[in-house]
Amino acid sequence: MGYGNVSERLRQPPQVGVSVVILALDPDSEHGRLWLPLVRRVRQPFLGCWALPGGDIRGDRTLAQSAYEALESTTDLHPSYLEQLHAFGGPDRSRGGLPMVSIVYWALVGEAEAGDFAERDNVRWFPESDLPSLDIAFDHREIIAYALARLRTRIEYPDIAARLVGPTFTLRQLHGVYEAVTGTVLDLPNFRRKMLASGEIEETGETLREGRHRPAAVYRYVPRRDAGERPYAYALTGDRLAELDARARSAAAAMSPGPGASSGDDALSALTTV
Amino acid sequence: MGYGNVSERLRQPPQVGVSVVILALDPDSEHGRLWLPLVRRVRQPFLGCWALPGGDIRGDRTLAQSAYEALESTTDLHPSYLEQLHAFGGPDRSRGGLPMVSIVYWALVGEAEAGDFAERDNVRWFPESDLPSLDIAFDHREIIAYALARLRTRIEYPDIAARLVGPTFTLRQLHGVYEAVTGTVLDLPNFRRKMLASGEIEETGETLREGRHRPAAVYRYVPRRDAGERPYAYALTGDRLAELDARARSAAAAMSPGPGASSGDDALSALTTV
DNA sequence: GCAAAAGTGTTTCCATTACACCCATGA
DNA sequence: TCATGGGTGTAATGGAAACACTTTTGC
C-alpha cells in the first residue's frame, strides 16, 4: 500500500478500531478501589507503552461484538456490562502514522472474576489512582479518565454497582462499592432502604457470616422488566452479553486446532490499536 | 480499487463517516413542533432516498470539525449546540457495499435561523412526527429516533431549550419549548421559578408586547461558569462553536474563486454517506 | 454480657406540585 | 372596565438526609 508523505497521509480518511476500558474492583484492596487492565504494545508507535485493549472492527460484526472480542481475547474476562463510551479521533492522535479513529467501549467485570485472573507479561492491572506515570500510549489516559467520570455519574442505579461487585452481595458490600466509586460517604441505613425500594434487588435467602456479629442477608440483582429504565440505552447486559460470549467462543473454536485449547498466547499477543 | 466478492468485502475493515441530526423548532407551527433537514441521495445505494446530512472524516480534522463542516456545507446553518451522539456500525448497514461506520452528531439550531433558511431541491425539512414513510436511507430513521430520545432526556437544563429557541426569549416561549419537546404539560408559574432559580437565565431589560395584555420580560441564556455543569460533556457550545465556524469559513473561502461566493450549489451537492 | 454489625423508626428538611391570587397592559 | 396573559404567594406532598434506636450474632 503506497501512501505519500506525512501531510498527504493526514488527509486520508482514517482507519477505525475499537478499544475497551475494563473496570473492576481490586480484590486485594480492602477499601474497594477500582483498577483496570492495560496491554503492553509490541509495535510502533508507542512500542512498550501501556494501552487499552483493542482490536479491529470487522464489517461482519456489530461494534459491540468487535469490542467484546477485543476484550475477551486479550484478557479472558467476561464482562457483566458493555456500553459504548465515545468515538475519539482527530489530528492529535495519529503520531505520524495513518489517522486513526477509535470507538471506545467501557466494560464492567465482577470482583470475583477479576481476582481469579492470572497476570501475564503483556497484560497488567493498574489501580485507577496509580496508572503508569509516563508510558501510556496515545490519548488513552484521557479516555480512561472519561470512562471513570461516566462510571461515577451512571452509578445512581443499583445496576452498575451490582455488576461490579458480582452476582451476589450483602447490602454493606454494595454500599462499599458506592462509596469507593463516588468517593463520598453515604448513610448506610438510608442506602439500604433506597436499594430495597428500587425493586431491583432481591434476597437470595442465604446469609453471610463475616465476624463475631450478626450475619448479613445476601441479595442478588434483578433487572426490572419495567422496560424504560433509561430511555435509550445501548448498554449490553445479561442475555445480550451471553450472546456475544457464545459468538466469541465459537469463533475461537473455529480458529484453534483442538477443542478447549482456544486461549493460547497467540490470541493474547497484544491486540492494541490507537 | 479491487475488492473481492460480497462476503470478502464484508470482512474488510469498514469506512468511516460522520452524519448529523440537526434539530430545530418549526417556526410555522404554532405549537412548537420539532423538525429536521434531510438530504436527498444522488448515489446508490438508496439513490433518491432521504438521508441525514453527512460527509467524510479527514485525518487532519477533529471529529466535531468534520461534523460541523458536513452540517454547514449542506444546510448553511450554524448550530448553537453540537455533541456526539453515538457511533453506528455493524453488518446490517452495508447493503452490499463496503461496510460503513457512521459517527453521528446531533445539533441544535435556533428557531430564527431555521426559519430564514431557503429550501432547495435536495434538502428538505421534515417535521419529527411526519418523516417520509418509506424512503429513508440506511438506518437513519432509528438514528433520528435515538437523537430525539437524547434530546428529551437532556432538556432538564435551561441550556438545551434556550439553544433551540434562539438568543433571547420570554419565559413563556421557553416554557413552550419544554412542553413541545417533552410532550408533557408543565405548570407555568413553577417553571418560571425553576428557570430563574437555575441562575442560568438573565433579564435583558427588554420586554416583548404580543397582544392586548402586559408585555413579557425578555431573557437570555447565560451559561454558569460553575464549571461542573455536567461532569464530562463533549458538547460544543459558544466559543468552541465559533471556532469551528471560523475554520469552516476559511476552508470555504480557500476553495471558492471569489470572496463571498462560497455557498454555491456545488458545495450543497448531496453530501451524504451511510 | 459485650462488642460489632444488621437492620428499623422517626424527625427534619427541602424541592416539587397544585392552585389561588394579584398585577400590568391594550382595547 | 374587562379580558388576557404576566407574575407572585402559599399550603400540601413526598422523598432524601440525619441520626437515635433495637436486634442478632460470636465470643
Which residue numbers of A have CB closer than 8 Å to B's CBs? 7, 9-16, 56-63, 65-66, 84, 86-91, 94, 98-99, 101, 103, 146, 149-150, 152-153, 230-232, 234
**Distance (Å, rounded) from C-alpha B131 to C-alpha B125?**
9
Same domain, B123 and B197: no
Mean pLDDT of A184-213: 93
Looking at B153, B179, B195, the residue that finishes a domain is: B153
Same domain, A53 and A89: yes
Same domain, B49 and B178: no
**Distance (Å, rounded) from C-alpha B125 to C-alpha B123?**
7
Cβ contact B11–A88 (<8 Å): no
Please tell me the distance in Å from B158's CA to the nearest CA on chain A: 20
What CATH number did the domain enclosing A214 receive?
Answer: 1.10.10.10
Residue A262 lies in a domain: no
Same domain, A136 and A204: no
Looking at B203, B223, B243, the residue that finishes a domain is: B223
Domain that residue A80 falls in: 1-153
User: According to the model, what pLDDT value does residue A245 have?
Assistant: 86
Nucleotide nearest to B213 (CA to C1'): C25
Count residue pairs from A and B with Cβ separation < 8 A.
110
Between B13 and A161, the more confident residue is A161
In this complex, the answer to whether residue A237 has its CB under 7 A from any atom of chain C, a nucleic strand, is no
User: According to the model, what pLDDT value does residue A96 have?
Assistant: 65
Same domain, A1 and A128: yes
Q: Where are the alpha helices (DSSP H) in A138-170?
A: 140-154, 158-165
Q: Is the pLDDT of residue A33 over 80?
A: yes
Residue B255 lies in a domain: no
Residue A239 lies in a domain: no
User: According to the model, what pLDDT value does residue B11 have?
Assistant: 66
Count other C-beta atoms under 10 Å from residue A224's C-beta.
12
Q: pLDDT tens across A125-136, in order?
A: 999 999 998 899
Q: Is the pLDDT of residue B151 over 90?
A: yes
Mean pLDDT of B122-144: 92
At residue A237, φ and ψ (nearest 5 deg) are: -145, 165
Q: pLDDT tens across A117-165, in order?
A: 656 678 999 999 999 988 998 899 999 999 999 999 889 889 999 999 9
Same domain, B171 and B135: no
Please tell me the distance in Å from B49's CA to the nearest CA on chain A: 23
- Comparing A54-68, B27-41, B175-189, B204-218, the range with the smallest average pLDDT is B27-41
Same domain, B71 and B119: yes
User: According to the model, what pLDDT value does residue A264 have?
Assistant: 32
User: According to the model, what pLDDT value does residue A59 have?
Assistant: 85
CA atoms within 13 A on the CB side of B75: 35
Minimum-distance CB partner of B103 among A57, A87, A150: A87
In this complex, the answer to whether residue B187 has its CB under 7 A from any atom of chain C, a nucleic strand, is yes
Which residues, 6+ apart, have CB-to-CB distance to A172 below 8 Å?
A188, A216
Three-state secondary structure of B170-200: EHHHHHHHHHHHHCCCCCHHHHHHHHHHCCC
pLDDT band for B76, please (50, 70, 90 cuts).
confident
Residue A248 lies in a domain: no
User: According to the model, what pLDDT value does residue A251 have?
Assistant: 76
Mean pLDDT of B77-87: 94
Same domain, A116 and A177: no
Q: Is the pLDDT of residue B45 over 90?
A: no
Nucleotide nearest to A186 (CA to C1'): D17
User: According to the model, what pLDDT value does residue A32 have?
Assistant: 81
Q: Is the pLDDT of residue B77 over 70?
A: yes
Transcribe A181-225 into DSSP letters: HH-S---HHHHHHHHHHTT-EEEEEEEE--SSSPPEEEEEE----
Same domain, B40 and B104: yes
Residue B132 lies in a domain: yes
- Comparing A98-112, B106-120, B166-180, the range with the smallest average pLDDT is B106-120
Minimum-distance CB partner of A16 among B16, B60, B91: B16
Q: Which three cell numbers stand for residue B59?
A: 485525518
Residue A267 lies in a domain: no
Report chain A's C-alpha Rg in angstroms: 20
Pairing of strands B54-56, B15-25: antiparallel
Which residues, 6+ apart, have CB-to-CB distance to A165 below 8 Å?
A25, A110, A111, A173, A174, A177
Mean pLDDT of B118-144: 88
In this complex, the answer to whether residue A192 has its CB under 7 A from any atom of chain C, a nucleic strand, is yes
Domain tally for chain A? 2
User: According to the model, what pLDDT value does residue A93 have?
Assistant: 80
Looking at B130, B153, B176, the residue that finishes a domain is: B153
Same domain, B40 and B107: yes
Q: Which of residues 19-58 of A touch strand C (CB under 7 A)?
A: none
**Distance (Å, rounded) from C-alpha B255 to C-alpha B103?**
26
Same domain, A129 and A208: no
Same domain, A1 and A100: yes
User: According to the model, what pLDDT value does residue A10 have?
Assistant: 61
Alpha-carbon distances, residue B99 vs A87, B65, B115 (angstroms):
17, 23, 37
What CATH number did the domain enclosing A4 receive?
Answer: 3.90.79.10
Q: Is the pLDDT of residue A2 over 70?
A: no
Pairing of strands A15-25, A100-108: parallel
